[in-house]
Structure 1
Amino acid sequence: MTSTMATPVQHIPKISHREARDLATTEHHRALDLLRSLDDEEWSKPTDCPAWDVRAMAGHMLGMMEFTCSVREFVHVIRAGGKAAGDGPTIDGMTEVQVADRAGLGVDELLERIAAAGPRAARRRYRVPRPLRALPMKQEMPKGVETWRLGYLFDIILTRDPWMHRIDLSRATGRELLLTPEHDGRVVSDVVAEWARRHGQSFTLTLTGPAGGTFTHGNGGEDITIDAVQFCRTVSGRGSGPGLLGEPVPF
């Protein structure tokens, strides 16, 4: 979003089920294009996720795609991830299992499987039956355990996650980050809307860059100007910020 006119956050439409499928498909293609552009040395570069280099992060991204492609993989990751997590967050155990299960893949095979799994995952997520999408799930967050619906995981989180990892990959390798108002601006505006719902306070938020825009809620409050990508990195926990920027949003 690049308009200089302020958008009240209550006017940001929720991402529909069909739109979620389209965003997931576009994000897959952009992540795959970035990964295909890497040279041999770049696959071993460290990322902002301390436990993962670029190769391991790509393994996690593939794991999340294949997680939704088959019931067997879904059940395996949930069960094995719970054991691997121990007393820690289940999601950490799940990602550990995903990376370990794909650690032996060569780069070419990894890319081939990502190319195949991305579109299939977007279709499978779209076709999840409504009763299953309505099922609750528990998720650890910085402010405590939350209850999500599986539909929120499939439609929102499983696109925000690779979107943020594409940023991680760009930062790790120095490759140009493709950002457009239509795709990235939509992901960002949805994050802004959720961030606003979570803290419920008045603000004016100016996000700079191709994915940015100006957003408001209520009268007065904090007046914040920050790059759109940095805003998302901050509320995701990859950075820290004062005041309302300390309100976490799941990715």
Structure 2
Amino acid sequence: MTTALAARPRTSPLDRSVAMRLAATEYDRVAALLAGLAPHDWDRPTSCPGWDVRAMATHVLGMAEMSASMRESLRQARAAQARDGVFIDELTALQVDERAGMTPAAIVARFAEVAPKAAKARRRMPSFVRARRMPGTQHVNGRDETWTLGFLSDVIMTRDPWMHRTDLALATGAAVELTAEHDGVLVDDVVREWFDRVGRVVSLRLTGPAGGVWGEGEPEVELDAVEFCRALAGRGAAPLGTEVPF
């Protein structure tokens, strides 16, 4: 990667209407999964160290509340920055800590209430705001890179609950709703970014409802679509050693 390319902020490649459709649908699917959890599910461990189902659910809720309100977004960001660690780690820890007293029923109800507001707020973000660079840098694959606010809002803020929906399903045994029209589009975007980060197109076959076939050449990679994305997010060995942020 050249210095010029490294300095260029990453932007969302998704059509705006598609990105916002994906956001609204993902919030709906997370809400449905949370509502279907049994009382004994909330204490189960997840694949994220230190988080049980309840902690993960409060993080997802905290992110939705952050997306729903500029005031809440600024408040959370300032509170996380006041801590001593890495910003994203402090932000997610803050979200969990602040909601430690919520019951599962309250988490479910609050997420159902705030999710449509989060989708609406993201949909209304003006283009000049989405074009701005995020403060600071993101460390991905051993390098620091910059993102636009549009990449954060249109892409990452949907990938995050999508990934945690798979985490929650694996932890509890719940069924994961997967469709080509929703999850397949998300996976396609991840694949294209992976190719960009790898620096070449390889032969990729992903199975399952969200899967498909991309590229040609060597090596040939074949995985379940969800497991492929989980590996790229650090929940396994990333193919070709290249991760994609979620």
What is the CA–CA distance in structure 2 between the aligned matches of 1:202 and 1:128, rounded to whole Å? 33
Contact 2:80–2:94 (CA<8 Å) still a contact in 1? yes
Q: How far 1:82 sits from its partner (Å)?
A: 1.8
**Amino acid of the structure 1 residue aligned with 2:87:** T
What is the CA–CA distance in structure 1 between the aligned matches of 2:70 and 2:13, rounded to whole Å? 28
**SS of residue matched to 1:226:** strand
Aligned runs of 1:67-216 on 2, under 5 Å? 67-84=66-83, 86=84, 88-137=85-134, 138-216=137-215
TM-score (norm 2): 0.91
**Amino acid of the structure 1 residue aligned with 2:26:** E
Contact 1:89–1:140 (CA<8 Å) still a contact in 2? no
**Amino acid of the structure 2 residue aligned with 1:37:** G
What is the CA–CA distance in structure 1 between the aligned matches of 2:13 and 2:213, rounded to whole Å? 17
Structure with greater strand share of residues: 1
Contact 1:133–1:151 (CA<8 Å) still a contact in 2? yes
Q: How far 1:79 sits from its partner (Å)?
A: 1.2
What is the CA–CA distance in structure 2 between the aligned matches of 1:195 and 1:125, rounded to whole Å? 25
Contact 2:202–2:215 (CA<8 Å) still a contact in 1? yes
What is the CA–CA distance in structure 2 between the aligned matches of 1:50 and 1:30, rounded to whole Å? 24
- Cα distance change, pair 142–202 in 1 and its aligned pair in 2 (3 A): closer
Contact 1:201–1:221 (CA<8 Å) still a contact in 2? no
Question: Please, what is the CA RMSD of the aligned residues?
Answer: 1.4
TM-score (norm 1): 0.89
Give the structure 2 partner of residue 59 of structure 1.
58
- Once the two structures are superposed, residues 45-104 of structure 1 have per-residue CA deviations (whole angstroms, 9 ceiling, x without a partner) of 0000012100010100010001022222111111111233x2x43111111111111111
Contact 1:235–1:248 (CA<8 Å) still a contact in 2? yes
What is the CA–CA distance in structure 2 between the aligned matches of 1:96 and 1:71, rounded to whole Å? 20
What is the CA–CA distance in structure 1 between the aligned matches of 2:32 and 2:201, rounded to whole Å? 39
User: After alignment, is 174-183 or 131-140 more displaced?
Assistant: 131-140
What is the CA–CA distance in structure 2 between the aligned matches of 1:95 and 1:241, rounded to whole Å? 23
If asked which structure has higher relative contact order (CA below 8 Å, sep 6+), I would say 1
Aligned runs of 1:16-35 on 2, under 5 Å? 16-35=15-34
User: After alignment, is 207-216 or 88-97 more displaced?
Assistant: 88-97
What is the CA–CA distance in structure 2 between the aligned matches of 1:89 and 1:153, rounded to whole Å? 17
- Once the two structures are superposed, residues 209-247 of structure 1 have per-residue CA deviations (whole angstroms, 9 ceiling, x without a partner) of 111000005xx22111111011001111111145x2x11
What is the CA–CA distance in structure 1 between the aligned matches of 2:72 and 2:54, rounded to whole Å? 21
- Cα distance change, pair 224–77 in 1 and its aligned pair in 2 (3 A): same
What is the CA–CA distance in structure 2 between the aligned matches of 1:209 and 1:69, rounded to whole Å? 32
Q: What are the ranges of 5 or more consecutive residues in structure 2 without an aligned counterpart?
A: 1-11
What is the CA–CA distance in structure 2 between the aligned matches of 1:59 and 1:69, rounded to whole Å? 15
- Give structure 1 regions of 4+ aligned residues with deviation exceeding 4 angstroms: none
**SS of residue matched to 1:248:** coil
**Amino acid of the structure 2 residue aligned with 1:203:** V
Contact 1:136–1:147 (CA<8 Å) still a contact in 2? yes
- Cα distance change, pair 139–35 in 1 and its aligned pair in 2 (3 A): same
**SS of residue matched to 2:180:** coil
Q: Percent identity?
A: 48
